[in-house]
Structure 1
Amino acid sequence: DRNFKIQAGFSAKQIDVFAKDEHNIFIIFCTSNKSISLKDEIRIISDLKKDISLSIKKHYDKSFRISFLLVTRNIIWNETDEKLASEKQIFYWKHDDLEAYRMLVEQLGHAAKYQMYSILFQGRKSPEVRDIQVPAMRGGVGREKYYCFLIRPQELFKIAYVHRREKSNPKEIGSTYQRMINKRRIEKIGEYIDKGNSFQNNIIIAFKQKPTFEPNPKVKAVSGISYGILKSPPFYGCAWIIDGQHRLYGYSKSKHAATHTLPVVAFESLNVEYQAN
């Protein structure tokens, strides 16, 4: 809607894209205008952030995380521009970044949203992920702990990642997903699921940060095995998929992502050297 505007102080500001889900709102500005410097564009958006955020909070009853994003095309960014955007807490995408995310959506469908969040909100706690908790069995010897549990694919999408965590460039991550996930294969798996089929073998993951486990005081541990509630670390993309990415992302092409459950074995931690192999 080219006439969509949000009240910002005494004036209304046109927004190029307003995107919202259950927990997040994105205010997106797009430009290919070389007549105004990026520094000025960033400062204009920064000056509007407070008033736009107040207008949004007045409009909605619930609280959202509000993020501002500047998308550019045919404009060269330098280190000073990037530093200023980061200081003003404005996300930015160059044209290559936008194309990388578009390809990721084509590959993973709606599950790509959480891969994007894991990049944008890296290291930031997210209530949507903090609330993920499942009944689980904990085993292991010494410091090497593992958990067995069932989880809905829609919830696992939020915490899972396939690429190496030290990668934060959307283009690198997009190419990793293209290399490690066969789009046609997950489409076939989605069709298989929608015909009433399911998978019994475990998806194997490793948490990057230590999860919280609350043992059930009414159930005695036997042979080092205890039962309780496992709570996810409160970060998008906090668990690396060791095995089973096609089975998981097959649900991104299925209507059952929010209703089926998948068996998972999760290691409490796994070192970077193992991830590199």
Structure 2
Amino acid sequence: MSAKDIKRLQEWDIIFFSDSTIQYYSELVKHLGTCSRYQLLGNLLANTEIKKMQNKVLAIKGKMGGHEYYEFSIEPEKLLKIGYVLHRNEANKNMMPTYQRIIKRKRLKEVQSFINDGGYFPNSIIISIDSGGRKLQFDESPTKLDDSISKIGVLHLPKRYHSAYIIDGQHRLYGYSDSEYANTNSIPIVAFVDLDRSEQLKLFMDINENQKSVSKTLRITLNSDMLWDSPNQNERRDAIRSKIAQMCGEEQSS
């Protein structure tokens, strides 16, 4: 498809799946099985309202690292509907920078079996909520502590597909897909609001920097995205070199 044709399709609100996009979803099905539908729906129906979705959660509002955030618990099925994972793939290159690798099927099966056997993960899933340019509604409770900057209340989540980027915890979240516990368990969430993609990438790297699961190769490619607009010319030059090598190795059109 030429650039002009793709632009024309976008003007008519027609979604075009290139060969690389079809290959991405084919691979996704191999790895995720039926729960790959959440990524597909997030792509096809981005910003579409999910009718009748219960979107209110009890939450604590706080500040950390210069950002406001919310802590709450939610049923996995609800987060799966609004969640989206920025997989590093040519199919998602229009949403760069992306930073997640596709879950391995073996690993996902292990997590699903663990959950179905009554296991649980007490650590929080980290997300960034896309507000769509509108301030999130937070009904603050009159109950408060004078010496605390934290607030408690009711948070109204967006009732839209593709409105919550999963920064950390995709294995734990997708492990609940098709599980009997998807609607009967609740999982802890730390939610930032409208984090820039570069900030999401940095947070992902900060969380995973010392974990064995993040390979040196992935850290280098993620670093190229983070340094792309660096004010330091040497860092930008390193980012360009890494990006050229990555494109030559991954893209058919390179």
Does TM, scored on the shorter chain, surpass 0.5?
Answer: yes
Determine what percentage of the aligned residue pairs are the same residue: 37
Q: Which has the higher contact order (CA 8 A, sep 6+)?
A: 2
Partner of 2:221: none
Q: 1:136 aligns with which of 41, 54, 59?
A: 59
CA contact (8 A) 2:73 2:189 kept: yes
Counterparts in 2 of 1:112 and 1:220: CA distance versus 1, 3 Å: same
Q: 2:125 aligns with which of 194, 197, 203?
A: 203
- The structure number with the bigger radius of gyration is 1
Counterparts in 2 of 1:107 and 1:142: CA distance versus 1, 3 Å: closer
Q: Return the letter of the residue paired with 2:41.
A: Y
1:22-61 pair list within 5 angstroms:
none
Alpha-carbon separation, structure 1, partners of 2:109 and 2:94: 23
Structure 1 unaligned runs (5+)? 1-76
Partner of 1:115: 39
1:186-225 pair list within 5 angstroms:
186-209=108-131, 211-217=136-142, 219-222=143-146, 223-225=148-150
1:81-100 pair list within 5 angstroms:
81-100=5-24
1:1-277 pair list within 5 angstroms:
77-122=1-46, 124-128=47-51, 131-140=54-63, 144-163=67-86, 169=91, 179-209=101-131, 211-217=136-142, 219-222=143-146, 223-252=148-177, 254-277=179-202
CA contact (8 A) 1:107 1:178 kept: no
More strand by share: 1
Structure 2 unaligned runs (5+)? 203-254
Q: Return the letter of the residue paired with 1:148.
A: E
CA contact (8 A) 1:204 1:241 kept: yes
Alpha-carbon separation, structure 1, partners of 2:32 and 2:176: 9
Partner of 2:214: none
TM-superposed deviation, 1:189? 0.8
TM-superposed deviation, 1:81? 3.9
TM-superposed deviation, 1:133? 2.0
Counterparts in 2 of 1:82 and 1:191: CA distance versus 1, 3 Å: same
- Give the TM-score of the pair, scaled to structure 1: 0.59
CA contact (8 A) 1:133 1:229 kept: yes
Alpha-carbon separation, structure 2, partners of 1:131 and 1:245: 22
| Secondary structure, counterpart of 1:242 in structure 2 | strand
* CA-atom RMSD in angstroms: 3.3
- Give the TM-score of the pair, scaled to structure 2: 0.64
> How many residues get paired?
196
Per-residue CA deviation, residues 175-198 of structure 1 (Å, 9 max, x unaligned), is x79835232112101001111122
